[in-house]
Structure 1
Amino acid sequence: MKKGETHMYNTLFSSCNIGTLEIPNRAVMTAMGNHIAEEDGTVSDADIAFYGARAKGGVGLVITECACVDFRTGKGNLRQIAVDDDKYIPGLKKLADEVHKYGSVLAVQIYHPGRQGIAELNGVESMKSASKTECRCVHQPAHEMTTDEIKEMTELFAAGAKRLKEAGVDAVELHGAHGYLIGQFLSPYTNKRTDRYGGSFENRMRFLDEILDAVRRECGGDYPVIVRFSADEHMEYAGLPGEGLCLEDGVKIAKHLAGKGVDALDVSAGIYETMNTAWEPVGFDQGWKMNGAEAVKKAVRIPVIAASVIREPGYAEEVLKEGKCDFIGSARAFFADPDWMRKAREGKEKEIRKCISCLYCMETLMAADMSGTPMGCAINFQGCREDKYSDEMLKKDGEKRVVAVIGAGPAGMEAARILAMRGFSPVVFEKQGEVGGQIALASKPPKKEKTGWLIDYQKYQMEKLGVEVRLNKAPTLEELKALHPYAVFVSHGSNPIMPKSIRGIGGANVYTPVEILNGTVTLENKNVAVVGSGMTGIETAELLGDRGNKVTVFEMADDIGPGIFFQNLIDVMGRVSTHGTKLYPKHRLVEIDGTTAAFENTETKEQERFDFDAIVVSLGTSSNTELKEELDKEFERVVYLGDAKQAGRIENAVRTGYLAAAQLN
């Protein structure tokens, strides 16, 4: 973009006020847990680097993860920011200073998890809640709060907000969304009280009203207060249509809060029972719940922040221009690429690393207390590690030395990107006619187009950095030696596992998912078996179902979808079920005889035989070990990446590619 030229996203880059606070643009990084605070609830250096990177990248309003107003008995996980003691103020001030350094504005979201918290983690017998209604997701004991507990909790929220103001944090957000404590009082699904805090709409609002009054008392009328709430709990996703809050209720809540003097509304959806409507898997399209924010926007005259799987600047500009909301909110878009806004401003949309909605972030966050590692992003290795890994920290010592990279999948391309940034001269060999490797296949099933965004990003990086890519080329040992490479990076992926111990597995009507996904084999209106229900198997079954095939899925494990993160499994199985797909868990393939497949029932040990037109075997993959002996013998530095090192997922590919390139000495 030439100097003085206006960018095409005029609305996105216009300022807008929340109360007395001017936000420099319309982008909001909404709250997301990350598990990088200190164990005592103090803001960590990692937190400061994490939020600072988003501010530096141009996000107008940065909202932190939900911070605990009661760290002792109201944590969501073991590492979470807290605001219930004055000792936290210095850390919060450091964080505010870091965000302000880049011209951005900071809000801290405060909350209590209520019935969605883990009792043991909080050292209590039962979690505080509006009522005793147990969460179907976490299954923790909960009790109906007494009026004294409600009063005490109200004061904890107010005291936390006051500390934020003292720390120089620009605004407070009260978290009433996603089924946490405030939301538990708002919703008739979770609030079964018969006293003045339950029953009627006014009574269900009372807890939040009293918190708002207490915050105003402690912080003054001009301290900006934002409320995040679920405008629709989408209980139909939990098989409970008509229960909980529907959009009509959400609009009513919005009007009430505007009347209470709230400065802005952050509109989301869902609770834990309907989690996929709050943190969406890949099956949800960009903007799918924008109707919630739009309905709220029509009903109130205060600013509305909308979260709705927003991934592209063009879409953000469109909904802002149409007046559907005042701010676009996203956590994952800015987690995947902290420079999203800067790149949009500079007209560099092709450089944006768009979130592919794989939910690796949620999977790692939910496992973080057990694993001890922070939340991660499958496509941005630096995410939550900004204090240890950043572009600025990369050594620039490549001195044009050649590094041969075998394979242009996500691991090879990530390695080539980092090598080029360090000043090496990577030469990438790819035996196929296009880059992408396994990701090119993973983007083929229905609703998986977003996965292909990673290839688009990496491919453009190769072009921008001038990386030499040789397509349709599996290099020979002589060709590699001719380069005199300083190092050889091997990222030529994996091969489908086809156990020779299974008689008939090499038959004419037996195929691999690769053949189905890459279009080598097209099956339509056939009777097809898919053996194996990992993500590849299930997605292949979905694609086959979409093509009019009658599909039956067999799985040796006790349940369909072993190892698949539950949110992704719910998402894909919801679509698979629409095709009438039959499911047979506890069935091990033992033999194929022409068009007949024999399975052993792992429970009864009896054999069952089924007839099919075609059989697709999806039993996982194993590392491609081609050339391993020769390469290890011929070259001093040989590094294996991604599936070539160990068959795994996108995160494994990106992480091993990044680290191999960053750590090459």
Structure 2
Amino acid sequence: MFNNLFSKGKIGCMDTKNRIVMTSMGNHLGNPDGTMSKADIAFYGARAKGGVGVIFTEVSMVEESRGRGNLCQISVADDKYIPGLKELADEIHKYNSKIVIQIYHPGRQGISAVNGNLPMLAPSAIECQCVHQPTVAMTTDEVSDMVEKFILAAVRVKKSGIDGVEVHGAHGYLVNQFLSPHTNHRIDKYGGSFENRLRFLEEIVIGIKERCGKDFPLVVRLSVDEFYETIGLPEEGLHLKDGVKIAERMEQLGVDAIDVSSGTYETMNTAWEPSSFDQGWKINLAETIKKSVKIPVIGVSVIREPEYADQIIADGKVDFVGSARQHFGDPEWSNKAKEGKTNEIRKCISCLHCMEVLMSSDITKLPCQCAINIQSGRELDYSNFIEDGDGRTVAIIGAGPAGLEAARVLAMRKFKPVIFEKSDKIGGQLEFANKPPKKEKINWLIDYLRVQSEKLGIEIRLDSTPTIEDLKELNPYAVFVAQGSNPIMPKSILGIDGKEVLSITDILSGRIKLKGKKIGVVGSGMTGLETAELLAETGNEVSLFEMADNIGPGLFFQNLIDIMGRTLKDGVHLYPKHKLIKIENGKLTFELMENNEIKDYSFDNVIISLGTRSNNKLIEEININFDIVKILGDASKPGRIRNAMETGFVNAYNL
């Protein structure tokens, strides 16, 4: 099965057992001193055990005074890091996989606070419009010195027994900054013409090849298109035609493979895509590069399905199929594909929880997290499923993500979970989350949990709301309450019970369908935004109101940018700083937060999206009647998918 995907490959002198690549992804698992941690080795080891052919590590520092991306990042800036790298190599090689260290410098995209509060080095003193850090142009001597640091880093990588090195020339980091006319305004030998802008990378590549030899694989990752048109700057930056020229020059210099990507921090959604981006949306970039060079090409493009991965190799679009987040979500993706167990793959839903956690990790001290795989990044903590359930029954109320994940883990531990679900289908809140436009990937998680339940023989009683007596009949060892939450409909708002007033679930459940109506949506959290988009796409005139100063308060900026671009295109009218006072026959009365003015708007229907409240039904009685009771997911505290999956996993793992 998937003969193309599982054919042997070659990058320079490195033979690979298949064409599957886990591309680089930050994880905040390194030790604070830059050494390789046990957790980091376990993280990569799980992917090697899972069948990945080639693993690229997270970005590794070549310089530490102003070259840090975060506080828990691995370093290759000194010989003292070689032993840890060797330990990593030994772990990966146990599984006949290959390991490549990615080396980089963040340049203007670094954070001053984690770099000695110094200004960030860059080709030119042009501040990044995403991170907004103080930036200073490097002197010519500093550029030459940085070239040497990259070369020395590669030498250390080779000495450690690692299989190859990748120079990160993508995603707006320092090498990319030199390549791009958007960020390189220099007038010395490292700026100006295309040839001069290429010089920094050229000198690094030539130096690595000279010092490490032709028998040490060297890969270069490139943003072959920076997509500045997506932020209204169509003439700026690198375009695909430039990416082709750079790749061709890399081949001439002896680079062994091109790892094709796109985007910078300023065009971040083209590099780390939200859920709206389809599988394969940018595979044309890799295909174009492959037509221009003879060395292997690694392509990424929200690749989730083995069928698609196999096909793009067969079609000659790529030589190797790359993904970071998919192997983060399911380290066993490769093995499952090879064994034909594609329905058991836990497909990444592109929710960007991993990116959100990583970007705040220096503050929260949390390492990487995956919304749908609680073990990712916690391999040392959650790898030993003790099979001591002895067939004891655990009653679970609710077949949402929390209840289903708890049941999966309990069944693996040889308990006997029995799930009661009040509706006629599993999924819980996921069956609302999958209804707005571009949210079809949520179905992948529902499908995964369904398949796991079937595989493990978990009993699910649909259309069933248990009484205390029903639960007692099972004589359960424990009761897990995962009965979700309900929409908040504040009684303090006069007229909230009007017939024209609907809840989010009225719309997302499909119970009520609106078309050709004038609709006001109150509340601009992600659910409110997505519902507004859904209503606009189904032929309604929609206005969205928010009490806070800005639409989408508290939302992760990548997801907010993504959906705002679509809602604005759909013509949704946005009204921040509006506090709802009352509703009367479709007339909404607001207090304007700027000046306390009172203003009315009239609609055919009003949709309330002001969050949810835990469903506490029966919880008090359950606590009285049973010794071991665990409250999961929204039933404990309304949250997102990660909260539900984590409470389900952890409580079942620790029972």
Place the TM-score, normalised by the shorter chain, in its bin: over 0.9
Q: Which residue number in structure 2 is paired with residue 317 of structure 1?
A: 310
Give the AA of the match of 1:387: L
1:400 corresponds, among 381, 386, 391, to: 391
Q: Which residue number in structure 2 is paired with residue 45 of structure 1?
A: 38
Q: Which residue number in structure 2 is paired with residue 289 of structure 1?
A: 282
Give the AA of the match of 1:156: K
Distance in 2 (CA, whole Å) between partners of 1:70 and 1:446 is: 44
Distance in 2 (CA, whole Å) between partners of 1:219 and 1:388 is: 38
Q: Which residue number in structure 1 is paired with residue 101 of structure 2?
A: 108
2:110 corresponds, among 112, 117, 121, to: 117
Distance in 1 (CA, whole Å) between partners of 2:610 and 2:117 is: 44
Deviations 1:189-226 (A, max 9, x none): 00001111111111011000101111122211221000
Local SS of the residue matching 1:158: helix
Distance in 2 (CA, whole Å) between partners of 1:86 and 1:518 is: 59
Deviations 1:44-100 (A, max 9, x none): 000100000000000000000000001232000000000011110010000000000
Q: Cα RMSD over matched residues?
A: 0.6
Give the AA of the match of 1:488: V
Local SS of the residue matching 2:206: helix
Deviations 1:221-250 (A, max 9, x none): 221000001010000112111210011111
1:67 corresponds, among 42, 49, 60, to: 60
Give the AA of the match of 1:368: S
Q: Which residue number in structure 2 is paired with residue 521 of structure 1?
A: 512
Contact 2:209 2:254 in 1 (8 A): no
1:300 corresponds, among 288, 293, 298, to: 293
Q: Which residue number in structure 2 is paired with residue 501 of structure 1?
A: 492
Q: Which residue number in structure 2 is paired with residue 434 of structure 1?
A: 425
Contact 2:140 2:188 in 1 (8 A): no
Local SS of the residue matching 1:444: coil
Distance in 1 (CA, whole Å) between partners of 2:449 and 2:624 is: 31
1:425 corresponds, among 394, 416, 421, to: 416
Contact 1:41 1:71 in 2 (8 A): no
1:248-259 matched pairs, under 5 angstroms: 248-259=241-252
Distance in 1 (CA, whole Å) between partners of 2:391 and 2:559 is: 43
TM-score if structure 2 supplies the norm length?
0.99
Q: Which residue number in structure 1 is paired with residue 644 of structure 2?
A: 653
Q: Which residue number in structure 2 is paired with residue 10 of structure 1?
A: 3
1:321-336 matched pairs, under 5 angstroms: 321-336=314-329
Give the AA of the match of 1:208: L
Local SS of the residue matching 1:120: helix
Contact 1:129 1:144 in 2 (8 A): yes
Deviations 1:443-465 (A, max 9, x none): 11000000111110001000000
Deviations 1:469-521 (A, max 9, x none): 00010111111010000000000000000000101101101101111011000
Deviations 1:576-608 (A, max 9, x none): 111111101010111000111111111211111
1:157-556 matched pairs, under 5 angstroms: 157-390=150-383, 393-556=384-547
Distance in 1 (CA, whole Å) between partners of 2:262 and 2:109 is: 16
1:88 corresponds, among 81, 90, 93, to: 81
Deviations 1:387-407 (A, max 9, x none): 1112xx011100000000000
Deviations 1:15-70 (A, max 9, x none): 11100110110110000000010000000000100000000000000000000001
Q: Which residue number in structure 2 is paired with residue 581 of structure 1?
A: 572
Contact 1:417 1:465 in 2 (8 A): yes
TM-score if structure 1 supplies the norm length?
0.98
Contact 1:12 1:317 in 2 (8 A): yes
Deviation at 1:569, TM superposition (A): 0.4
Local SS of the residue matching 1:449: coil
Give the AA of the match of 1:431: K
Distance in 2 (CA, whole Å) between partners of 1:156 and 1:365 is: 26
Does 1:131 find its partner at 2:127?
no
Give the AA of the match of 2:280: G
Distance in 2 (CA, whole Å) between partners of 1:283 and 1:418 is: 30
Does 1:590 find its partner at 2:581?
yes
Distance in 2 (CA, whole Å) between partners of 1:254 and 1:73 is: 28
Identity %: 59
Deviation at 1:125, TM superposition (A): 2.7
Give the AA of the match of 2:109: Q
Local SS of the residue matching 2:100: strand
- Gaps in structure 2 of 5+ consecutive residues: none
Distance in 2 (CA, whole Å) between partners of 1:605 and 1:470 is: 52
- Count residues in correspondence: 655
Contact 2:51 2:333 in 1 (8 A): yes
Where does structure 1 differ by over 4 angstroms across 4 or more consecutive aligned residues? none
Q: Which residue number in structure 2 is paired with residue 629 of structure 1?
A: 620
Q: Which residue number in structure 2 is paired with residue 3 of structure 1?
A: none
Distance in 1 (CA, whole Å) between partners of 2:338 and 2:636 is: 39
Deviations 1:328-348 (A, max 9, x none): 100000000000000000000
1:149 corresponds, among 139, 142, 166, to: 142
Give the AA of the match of 1:230: S
Give the AA of the match of 2:239: C
The worse-fitting range, judged by mean Cα deviation, of 226-235 and 576-585 is 576-585
Give the AA of the match of 2:116: G
Deviations 1:132-157 (A, max 9, x none): 11100001111111111111111111
Deviation at 1:655, TM superposition (A): 0.3
Give the AA of the match of 1:69: V
Give the AA of the match of 1:530: V
Deviations 1:325-380 (A, max 9, x none): 00010000000000000000000001000000000000000010000010100000
Contact 1:441 1:518 in 2 (8 A): yes
Distance in 1 (CA, whole Å) between partners of 2:507 and 2:645 is: 25
Give the AA of the match of 1:343: K
Q: Which residue number in structure 2 is paired with residue 663 of structure 1?
A: 654
Deviation at 1:420, TM superposition (A): 0.2
Contact 1:165 1:171 in 2 (8 A): yes
Distance in 1 (CA, whole Å) between partners of 2:21 and 2:191 is: 33
Distance in 2 (CA, whole Å) between partners of 1:315 and 1:456 is: 18
Deviation at 1:629, TM superposition (A): 1.3
Deviation at 1:124, TM superposition (A): 4.5
Give the AA of the match of 1:118: I
Local SS of the residue matching 2:396: strand
Give the AA of the match of 2:85: L
Deviation at 1:308, TM superposition (A): 0.4
Distance in 1 (CA, whole Å) between partners of 2:514 and 2:283 is: 37
Give the AA of the match of 1:56: K
Contact 2:482 2:635 in 1 (8 A): yes
Distance in 2 (CA, whole Å) between partners of 1:147 and 1:610 is: 61
Distance in 2 (CA, whole Å) between partners of 1:124 and 1:584 is: 39
